[in-house]
Amino acid sequence: MHWKIAAAVSVGGAIGTCLRYAINTMITTESWFNATLIVNCSGSFLLGMISGWFLASSKREWIRLGLGTGLCGGYTTMSTFAGESVRFATETGGHLAPYLFLSLAGGLIAAAVGFLTGKTLGERRCPQ
């Protein structure tokens, strides 16, 4: 592995993890799952945007991996989503479907919108 890629992913991951922690501490409501939903949907948008941008404009692999794998990987969280889904199901008597739907559909829609946004911006900045 190239040292530049490893460093970019490491720094991106650290920043993403700190951002997730900051958002989790700022969103203090009785609905504890809201922070994970917001983080995962906004992270999906960001990853989609990064993917679209780099597809259209830049070939710097280390930056793409630092932002995508590092930042977005550290920012979003599948393990928290899974754990909170189990907790939500047990604490609400099984009313899990809306949370799962919002998380999954929201993440997919956010990623698609982000991808199209990033691709459009990348094409405008660096026309082929």
Residue corresponding to tokens 């991808």: 115
What's the pLDDT at 77? 86
The answer to whether residue 34 scores a pLDDT higher than 70 is yes
Phi-psi category of residue 93: left, alpha or beta, with phi > 0 → left and psi -120 to 50 → alpha: left
The pLDDT tens digits of the residues spanning 43-88 come to 999 999 999 999 888 778 899 999 999 999 999 988 888 888 888 8
122 is in an annotated binding site: no
Ligand-binding site membership of 118 (annotated): no
Give the burial string for 56-87 (b: 16+ CB within 10 Å, else e).
bbeeeebbbbbbbbbbbbbbbbeebbeebbee
Model confidence pLDDT, tens digit, residues 98-126: 889 999 999 999 999 999 999 999 888 87
> What secondary structure letter does DSSP report for 25?
H
Q: Which two tokens stand for residue 110?
A: 């956010």
Q: How far apart are CA 100 and CA 88, in angstroms?
A: 10
